[in-house]
């Protein structure tokens, strides 16, 4: 787990900027504190910040360069099938100097070029340069676990693990005003968008080849689906075998390894499998001194059941105040999933004991674990009488508060969303339920010409619930969940590995009937059946609850200072030219209204954006 950066010069003007790469590399040091280095050529420059995990010896430092200096690799991630690949390469006569997966990837790329991508099982972003032919290949893993950002103009082609590294180059970064609509809708940027109009994300599975004066782009794994004709019982067995092997592969490490344990089904399965390999496994959870949000009792129960050495981190309002500024400084571009704050402090605590942590990320998107998945299933199966009852219940609850801060408010919020979903088709309902901030509020906030956001996955067959899961794998997983974990864990030089996102597990899960995953009993049914014997019954039966933090309560004491501070004055907002001050004033005046509800996400997104702007306004 590391950070990479690179520059490709298109002309003499671009070649002058290659010398700026060493100035950008320190911005990635938090991703790789063990070693930072770079290699500069006449047409290309590559930099690397290393977090040592496998073969911690300096011989595996990067950039990894061939003896004749023809080939150079910078690589962020892990290749989990590197042992098998190494054996195949050795049969072809390749001799290895290290025990690292970096060298395996290096020789595989020398031998196969871009075709090597189809042989990889892991998470990665890398750049591979052939100095003799002046050819560059960059790529990103097929799920989007590791980030890779790209900037291009007439002189240079730049890439980096984080957007902020581009600020060290002599380039003109422009705010993408249209993309702000996505950010203030979903709390993150979608598809290949970023906060800058001239910086894009390389899509999951994407690759770019630069050679012979041309740029070739493609995707090596558009479809991660493998159809299965197995019986249900054989399917359960195969899923268990695949995930067990996936966990085992992800426990290969030359540094201490632990696991996140929330007490939910996904992380509990991973921890239960991991503790069989390492009986002294340390597990970690984050909780809150707020009865409604705290769920550490579930994590404690699982830990006692599986026998892990468990550590709870309980956060309170004071922790929020003390760490708020450092948390905001860790965000490389606006990202407003508020639970990122909890992941930030959990990662900070975990890093004190281990350098690698396993997580349960990805299971919800593969096996239908979100509440919206079960709600979508219910609407699809719901008859006219039940739909009428939902409408009556929604009407009766409408006068009461709707929020995520207590049980009554959460119940009302879910009933209102369910009622709204009845009137929409499957595709419209999916995208409506992904949104945190209403379109009418965004119209009031944003100054730029407003366009309604459409579901970007119209081509999926929406009559089957599997389409909802695939859409989440393309939208929510890489842009929100994985972005959050990568950003917050790497802020503390912690590597997080995701066994559910093994390529074999994904392909198998995506080929299963949706009824194996979500049915009348709820979501993730096949996961429960596959691992029922490993977990306490309470974990199998507990209702799904989103990972939330008590953001409204934590901000209460600070909100007046924040919204009346220098980043929210009329003059500051007017000079930005992005937001309507009248709407910000409206939010400030309505803060104490019991029905403020989901507008809290607008406030949070604004706070995150303004602090990002303050740090980056010279380049914006």
The DSSP secondary structure of 61-102, one letter per residue, reads -SSEE-TTS-EEEEEEEEETTHHHHHHHHHHTT---S-S-HH
Query: Side-chain half-sphere of 315: how many Cα atoms within 13 Å?
Result: 29
Residue range 232-367+479-540, CATH number? 3.40.50.620
C-beta neighbour count of 167 within 10 angstroms: 16
Is 434 marked active-site?
no
575 by Cβ neighbours in 10 Å (0-12 / 13-18 / 19+) ranks as exposed
Q: Indicate the domain borders of the chain.
A: 2-219, 232-367+479-540, 371-466, 551-616
Is residue 109 within 8 Å of residue 70, measured between CB atoms?
A: no
pTM for the full predicted model: 0.94
* DSSP per residue, 153-194: -SSEEEEESSGGGGGGSS----B-TTHHHHHHHHSS--TT--
Q: Coil, helix or strand for 351? A: coil
Six-digit token string for 321: 């105040």
Cis peptide upstream of residue 26 (ω within 30 degrees of 0):
no
C-beta neighbour count of 330 within 10 angstroms: 19
CA separation for the pair 260, 360 (Å, rounded): 8
User: Which CATH superfamily hosts domain 2-219?
Assistant: Aminohydrolase, N-terminal nucleophile (Ntn) domain (3.60.20.10)
Six-digit token string for 88: 């195949």
The DSSP symbol for 481 reads I
The DSSP symbol for 536 reads -
Binned average pLDDT, 10 residues per bin, the chain of 620 residues:
93 95 96 95 96 86 94 96 96 94 97 96 97 97 97 97 95 93 95 95 97 91 87 97 97 95 96 97 94 84 97 95 95 96 97 97 97 94 82 77 72 83 91 93 90 82 93 96 97 97 97 96 96 93 77 89 93 95 94 87 97 78
442-465 residue pLDDT tens: 999 999 878 888 888 878 889 899
359-402 residue pLDDT tens: 999 999 999 999 999 999 999 998 887 878 878 787 877 777 77
CA distances from 220 to 90, 106, 143 (A): 25, 18, 11
**Catalytic residue among 2, 44, 185, 434, which?**
2
What is the pLDDT at residue 620?
45
What is the pLDDT at residue 414?
82
Please give the distance of CA 104 from its chain centroid, rounded to a whole number: 26
Closest CA to 482 of 123, 182, 31: 123
Is residue 228 within 8 Å of residue 511, measured between CB atoms?
A: yes
What is the pLDDT at residue 404?
67
CA separation for the pair 612, 590 (Å, rounded): 24
256-281 residue pLDDT tens: 999 999 999 999 999 999 999 999 99
């Amino acid at each position: 787990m590391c950070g990479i950066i690179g520059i490709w010069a298109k002309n003499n003007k671009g070649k002058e900027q290659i010398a700026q790469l060493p100035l950008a590399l320190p911005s990635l040091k938090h991703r790789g504190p063990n070693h930072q280095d770079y290699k500069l050529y006449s047409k290309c420059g590559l930099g690397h910040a290393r977090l040592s995990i496998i073969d911690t010896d300096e011989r595996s430092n990067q950039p990894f360069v061939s003896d004749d200096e023809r080939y150079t690799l910078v690589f962020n991630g892990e290749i989990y099938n590197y042992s098998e690949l190494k054996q195949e390469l050795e049969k072809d006569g390749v001799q290895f100097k290290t025990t690292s997966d970096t060298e395996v990837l290096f020789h595989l790329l020398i031998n196969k070029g871009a075709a090597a991508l189809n042989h990889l099982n892991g998470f990665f972003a890398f750049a591979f340069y052939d100095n003799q032919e002046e050819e560059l290949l960059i790529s990103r893993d097929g799920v989007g676990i590791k980030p890779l950002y790209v900037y291009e103009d007439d002189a240079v082609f730049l890439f980096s693990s984080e957007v902020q590294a581009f600020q060290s180059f002599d380039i003109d970064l422009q705010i993408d005003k249209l993309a702000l609509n996505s950010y203030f809708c979903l709390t993150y940027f979608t598809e290949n968008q970023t906060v800058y109009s001239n910086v894009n994300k390389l899509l999951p599975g994407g690759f770019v080849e630069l050679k012979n004066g041309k740029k070739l782009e493609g995707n090596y794994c558009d479809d991660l689906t493998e159809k299965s004709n197995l019986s249900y019982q054989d399917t359960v067995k195969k899923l268990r075998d695949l995930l067990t092997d996936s966990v085992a592969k992800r426990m290969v490490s030359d540094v201490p390894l632990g696991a996140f344990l929330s007490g939910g089904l996904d992380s509990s399965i991973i921890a239960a499998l991991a503790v069989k390999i390492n009986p002294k496994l340390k597990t970690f959870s984050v909780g809150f001194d707020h009865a409604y949000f705290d769920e550490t009792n579930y994590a404690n129960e699982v830990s006692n059941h599986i026998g892990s050495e468990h550590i709870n981190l309980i956060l309170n309002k004071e922790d929020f105040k003390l760490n708020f500024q450092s948390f905001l400084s860790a965000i490389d571009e606006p990202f407003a999933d508020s639970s990122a704050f909890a992941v930030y402090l959990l990662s900070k605590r975990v890093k004190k004991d281990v350098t690698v942590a396993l997580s349960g990320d990805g299971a919800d998107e593969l096996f239908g674990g979100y509440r919206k998945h079960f709600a979508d299933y219910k609407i699809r199966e719901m008859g006219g009488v039940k739909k009428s009852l939902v409408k009556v219940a929604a009407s009766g609850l409408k006068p009461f508060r709707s929020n995520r801060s207590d049980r009554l408010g959460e119940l009302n919020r879910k009933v209102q969303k369910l009622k709204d979903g009845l009137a929409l088709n499957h595709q419209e309902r999916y995208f409506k339920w992904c949104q945190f901030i209403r379109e009418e509020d965004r119209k009031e906030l944003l100054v730029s010409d407003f366009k309604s956001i459409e579901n970007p996955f119209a081509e999926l067959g929406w009559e089957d619930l599997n389409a909802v899961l695939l859409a989440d794998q393309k939208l929510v997983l890489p842009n929100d969940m994985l972005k959050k974990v990568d950003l917050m864990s790497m802020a503390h030089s912690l590597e997080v590995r995701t066994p559910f996102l093994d390529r074999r597990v994904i392909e198998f899960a995506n080929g299963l009937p949706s009824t194996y995953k979500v049915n009348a009993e709820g979501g993730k049914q096949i996961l429960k059946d596959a691992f029922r014997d490993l977990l306490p019954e309470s974990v199998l039966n507990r209702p799904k609850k989103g990972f939330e933090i008590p953001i409204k309560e934590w901000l209460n004491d600070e909100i007046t200072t924040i919204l009346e501070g220098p980043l929210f004055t009329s003059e500051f907002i007017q000079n930005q030219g992005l937001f309507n001050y009248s709407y910000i004033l409206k939010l400030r005046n309505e803060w104490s209204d019991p029905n403020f509800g989901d507008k809290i996400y607008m406030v949070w997104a604004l706070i995150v954006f303004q602090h990002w702007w303050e740090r980056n306004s010279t380049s914006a």
